[in-house]
Chains A and B, each alone.
Chain A
Amino acid sequence: MRQYSLSQWIGMLCMVVLWQNLQARDTLPDSTTHFKSILWGVPKKLGLQTISPLNKKLGLENITVSGTVDFISFYRDLPSGYTGLSTPKKNLEFTPYAAASNFNGNFYRQPLLNLVIGGSPSKNTSFAIEYAMSQFYTGHGGDTSRKLSVQNMLQLHGNVFTRYGSFQLTAGGGALNYSLSPLTVFNKDFREPMFEKLPWDWYSKSFEKYTDQYNTSSTSTPPYITNTATQGFILEGKDLPNKFGFSAFYGRSNFSLAPDRSNLNYPSQLLAGKIYRGDDSTGKIAFNGYDQFGYVDNVGDEKDLKQIATAEFKYVNKRMRIHAELGAGRVVNPSSKGKYGEAVSINYTLYNPKIQLPIQVQLYSLDKNVAAMESAYLNANPTVSQGGYGTEAKYNNALYPSYLQEVTMLVNNRQGGYFKIDKILKNCRFELGNAISQEKENLSHTVSFQHMANAFSRSRFQPWIQNTGPYSLINNRYRRSFETIAVTDSGNYRKFYNAADFSAKFKTKLFKKNLIISNYIYCGTVSKDFSVIPLMNSTSFIHTIYEELSGYYQIHEKLTLLAFYSLQKTKANEATQHATDTQKTLDQKGTGYGLGLDYDFAPNAGIFLRHRWMQHKDKSFILDQFKGQETVVELKIFF
């Protein structure tokens, strides 16, 4: 009680002091007179102050909103079943990949509704973000049926324009597209059949896609291929004095670290950049650096490094295009001591306007220690893993041991080259390619090849998982599937890889409607001995041939019918692993037939239907067989 009295007393004292202070003045300013009148007089009128309307403007008033609606559903009926199939034999999904094997729907690249919002808070800054909204139609009332997330866009930009050049900073996540050079940071260029609907298709008029693919030369690389997904900071400088420019990246790529390791804050960073002078047409010289540095874990001192430095030269004129890249790289991890290896890539395209026959020649030599997973080449170095050193093998989607590659694909631990010829006649286009390469070192007593027939469908049997299937030989990756078999011949061969392909495309009119027919043949071998072309016989460890025929008929401006046929035959010789039950070597055949329909029901909207009958049978590995059908429906709307 005493304390109450004290505090009250103090309060009163303060008021008295105030009053006395005022009284002590002989002449009081006007304001103090008012003060007195308020304290001891009665004001004439009291009232609540009127508050002006709430401020209307807060931040930005204008933002841009765009996006896509992308409904995808596929139904698969595989009566035969297949070992490792992650779903029932009959399965309906509302995502491109089965939700059950899709990290509970987290790893999902085509949301039902993708809202992209952008704006410029100031003349020097801008942002672009994305709300990716997925619906899995699980029937559950809770959040398990839906996901709100970020896939690609969480980007912040800052620009500076000076008399010394212009600079742009891009920071953020989702997936920043970044590219340096084919031997450092780039992307892989796997072939996609024209029949397949691609997630990144942007066409509002469906037939334009097939026209574009008809027109696209195999000697050029589409821009969307040249980028890799990154998160972090990109700083670019252009138009610097003396035609200098630079680009620098700090962060991680989607290959750097596995999600569980990222969540544990494993030390891993990617620092990459280039300094260049000139431009493509006048001759551009660039120096590229790539440094993926970190440690095997967050406890010990064992490093996990991949470093590459290259010099690059580009020149383009009407008759030729040269792109050369030379450098060195090394890999440091508990299984690799950091020895430097060479990186050489020379690409030359000659074009004679008179005969109109572009010829592209590529020569390369890539040591196993040149191993950037973000690059244009495939990695054959088993000590290098997606997600960091020591990633569990079944999750390592970036290892291609002794891989029989596509014609234009480069692989490290190889030296070789390819040529491509592209000839356009009036209504047809022919492309021919042939690749030869040899291992620089026998790193693996295996050979592997791609299942081109039904590749996308097969990749969904057990997505992202390696060493699956009835004999644990199948490796499933994004949109494609591979098989790796052992070489039983104990000789230390530096294997030769031959691949050739021939593409013929015809464009014509049928009943006055556009018709495009495409035929593609690929054959490849892995063998002990050198050969100029693939030798499709038993001298090769493995030989495979793939035939693909498809037709695209625009029966109406808005309606296109599609038909597709594919066949792949693969055989291995006696120097490869034998099936335990039949004691025979791999001898398989895969076929796929398909029909499709594209209907553009509105200027920015279309429905796409694909149905496929597929079959696979290995005469030796008799459990490796399946037969079934798959239907895919996609509704895509751009806004």
Chain B
Amino acid sequence: MKIKIKITLIILCLQMIGSAQIISFTGYGRARIMNESLKGNVVKGDTAVPKRGTDGDMVFDLGIHLQPYEYLRGKALIRLRNKFGVFFGQGAAVEFRQILIEGLISKKIKYALGDIDINGTPYTVFNNSDSSSYEAEIFKTRRDITHYENFNFGNQWRVQGAKANATMLFNNTNSDIKFKTFASRTRATNYGTLPDRFLVGLTADANIENVANVGLNYVSMFEVKDQVDTSTYSNNVATVNFNYTKKTKSIDLTLSGEAGMSRFSRTLSTDSSYQSNGSFYDVKCAVDIKPIFSKLSLNYKNVSADFLSPAAQTLRIYANQNNSLFTYTQNYMAVRDQLYFDRLTDVGLYNQTLRPTLMAFLPQYSNVLPYGAATPNRAGFSVGLTAGSGEKPFDFSFSIDKLKELKADTLSSLRDFTLIKAGATLGLHQLFKSERLFILSGGIKHENTQRDGNAKIDLKSNQIDAGLTLETFKNLDVLGGYKLVLAKGNEYTATRDANNAITKQTPLTVNFQQNLWSAGLHYRFSNQSFLTLTGNWVANTQKESESTNYSIHQYFISYIVNF
């Protein structure tokens, strides 16, 4: 049946060519091959697990845009995929990646149906980034693939449903109110034990003379009551956000913030129910000193332990998903832990579904704000300083977050968190007024988690980035990148139940160093088509368990055409 639909759609769309209706095409084509090997103590004497591999695929996503009227447009994104090395149809698959209908109602309301992208504020609907600001360009080329495969376009979530927006104008002023709404089904019923689950949202954002904004946001995730004879769930989030900017010739002063509440409710078939309420506020004051291209900000936030906002707290990466690459070690007796390199490149680690409760996370990579700004049970200040801009040869940023838990978990007293981030980009080509790119970048992220008491915690982690982009011949860049991940100490990872309550705390002890070196070439045939060849060398050193040390070498080649 699926194939019938696909074929019919393709033929119908193609039949439109040459007719009065407008049809246009977008596309994303990619060919890639990875050749990798696993070496080190962890596989010494191992006669069972794979230690080498060659993988790859060729894909082409053809987006067919059909516009029969000025106010209606349809899009179908159909993927052809060919597993590398399998010929004549055996390794080929055709997938439907997106169907989207967009239109206007009475020329006033814009709507979209199908596979839609939604976003809101960091506390309502927000797909938190998994990358650092100063990540080397060579890593971005890999991350772009991972993001594309998982529909991670900016901070949007890809969901299935409908959305609409309209703008109400106040005549004779520069003010308006923008309304946005969406509704999506995030899980379909299995007709027995699981009810349908929906996510709906409404935003009204008032722009006052381009000076201030005030927004009201409401997002609800809920299951259909009484659809099946089990539990039902709902979680409602309501927030207000604002932004006011006072501009002068030399200084822009901005005051912004968001505050809101959440209500979680779960009703069981036994007529018992569970409810929890949470709230937050987040206020920020920023001063933009124009003459020196610098911005100073001060932020205070307070997010209660029970604040739950699934569309803002769902993680992109599963913590407990096995790596696709070299999944097992030690004669299949051990599962290989996720390295930073895996989280950068492994499409299969990524989550595309909004989760009703908090997902597990890996503290060694992010423990201070694992769920982004909306991370619950955090209160404290952050101070930030940025200097320079993309148009200048140099830009720099520094921030420090000093946060504390508001509520102790089941084990002990409150955790204290420190997060320090700093980074800089140096555009030497701008400095020397050269047309050929020469960019150096570097960044650091330091996290420190401390807790006293019976279950003491002392976890420190550092991530250091360094990157190089050097355009040698026209459009041919030499790329280099380095990432160091260090983590040492102990933490507890939480297991949560359907009520989002912690049911188990598992001790975690880490003491490792990950080094990722990458070097390669990047040739730009056009702005959106490029060939990339990279070599990647990953070393994972477990400082207290040398027998589990290993390294991964991977050579990667890809050609991407995007239009």
Question: Residues of A with Cβ closer than 8 Å to B?
Answer: 3-4, 6-8, 10-11, 14-15, 17-18, 21, 31-32, 34-35, 37-39, 43-51, 53-54, 56-61, 63, 65, 103, 106-109, 113, 115, 117, 119, 121-125, 127, 129-133, 141-143, 146-151, 154, 156, 158-160, 169, 171-175, 229, 231-233, 250-252, 254, 256-257, 259, 262-269, 294-295, 298-300
Contacts and interface: CB of A to CB of B under 8 A. Distances in A.
A34 B525 contact: no
A639 B277 CA distance: 65
A12 B246 CA distance: 19
B154 interface: no
A115 B14 contact: yes
Contacts of A17: 255
A54 B49 CA distance: 54
A95 to B, nearest CB: 12
B47 interface: yes
Interface string B141-184: 00000000000000000000000001111111111100000000
Given A115-B10, A121-B529, A158-B531, 12 more contacts: A3-B261, A35-B212, A49-B169, A65-B14, A121-B528, A121-B561, A125-B525, A173-B31, A232-B33, A254-B88, A265-B53, A265-B55
B86 A233 contact: no
A117 B62 contact: yes
Interface in B98-137: 102-104, 107-110
Interface string B526-544: 1111010000000000000
B551 to A, nearest CB: 16
26 contacts: A6-B302, A8-B259, A10-B281, A34-B209, A35-B212, A45-B172, A47-B169, A54-B104, A59-B24, A60-B26, A109-B89, A121-B561, A122-B527, A124-B526, A129-B80, A141-B1, A146-B3, A146-B4, A148-B6, A158-B559, A172-B60, A174-B82, A174-B92, A266-B54, A267-B53, A269-B54
B170 A267 contact: no
B104 A51 contact: yes
Contacts of A129: 29, 60, 62, 80
A257 B52 CA distance: 15
B89 A46 contact: no
A259 B85 CA distance: 7
Given A54-B102, A109-B88, A148-B94, A262 B255 contact: no
Nearest to A158: B525
B255 A265 contact: no
B92 A150 contact: yes
A265 B242 CA distance: 52
Contact of B557 (A60, A250, A266): A250
Contacts of B244: 18, 21
A160 B173 CA distance: 52
Contact of A48 (B70, B88, B108): B108
A10 B261 CA distance: 12
A169 to B, nearest CB: 6
Interface string B167-206: 1111111111000000000000000000000000000000
Nearest to B557: A233
A132 B59 CA distance: 15
A294 B55 CA distance: 13
Contacts of B59: 154
Contact of B86 (A119, A133, A171, A262): A262
B251 interface: no
Nearest to A54: B73
B70 A54 contact: yes
B210 interface: yes
Most buried by B among A51, A252, A263: A51
B257 interface: yes
- Give the dominant DSSP class at A's interface: mixed
A48 B166 contact: yes
Nearest to A260: B86
Given A43-B171, A49-B168, A129-B62, A231 B84 contact: yes
Nearest to A33: B209
Interface string B64-100: 0101001111000000101111111111111000000
B63 interface: yes
Nearest to A8: B259
Contacts of A37: 173
Interface of B: 1-4, 6-7, 10, 14, 17, 22-27, 29-31, 33, 35, 37, 47-60, 62-63, 65, 67, 70-73, 80, 82-94, 102-104, 107-110, 166-176, 208-212, 214, 240, 242, 244, 246, 255, 257, 259-261, 277-281, 283, 302, 304, 525-529, 531, 557, 559, 561-563
A3 B304 contact: yes
Contacts of B10: 115, 131
A46 B7 contact: no
A101 to B, nearest CB: 14
Nearest to A113: B7
B166 A60 contact: no
B491 to A, nearest CB: 27
Nearest to A123: B526
Given A53-B71, A121-B563, A143-B3, A43 B173 contact: yes
A340 to B, nearest CB: 25
A187 B424 CA distance: 55
Contacts of A10: 257, 259, 281, 283
Contacts of A125: 525-526, 529, 561, 563
Contact of B3 (A31, A147, A175): A147
A51 B47 contact: no
B242 A38 contact: no
Given A38-B208, A233-B31, A265-B50, A159 B168 contact: no
Q: Which 7 pairs between the two chains have the least Cβ-Cβ distance?
A: A121-B563, A173-B58, A59-B26, A173-B82, A171-B31, A262-B85, A158-B525
B298 to A, nearest CB: 14
B202 to A, nearest CB: 16
A165 to B, nearest CB: 13
B525 A159 contact: yes
A289 to B, nearest CB: 18
Contacts of A54: 67, 70-73, 102-104
A257 B87 CA distance: 10
Nearest to A53: B70
Given A60-B25, A298-B52, A107 B88 contact: yes
A38 B175 contact: yes
Contacts of B1: 141-143
A388 to B, nearest CB: 10
Contacts of A142: 1
A158 B529 contact: yes
A169 B209 CA distance: 52
B507 to A, nearest CB: 31
Contacts of B103: 54
A182 B220 CA distance: 67
B211 A31 contact: yes
A611 B121 CA distance: 71
Given A49-B168, A175-B87, A269-B54, A35 B48 contact: no
Nearest to A252: B85
Contact of A172 (B14, B58, B257): B58
Contacts of A149: 89, 92-94
B65 A7 contact: no
A44 B170 CA distance: 8
B281 A294 contact: no
B559 A171 contact: yes
A265 B54 CA distance: 5
B94 A131 contact: yes
Contact of B25 (A119, A151, A229): A119
Nearest to A10: B281
A46 B169 contact: yes
Nearest to B6: A148
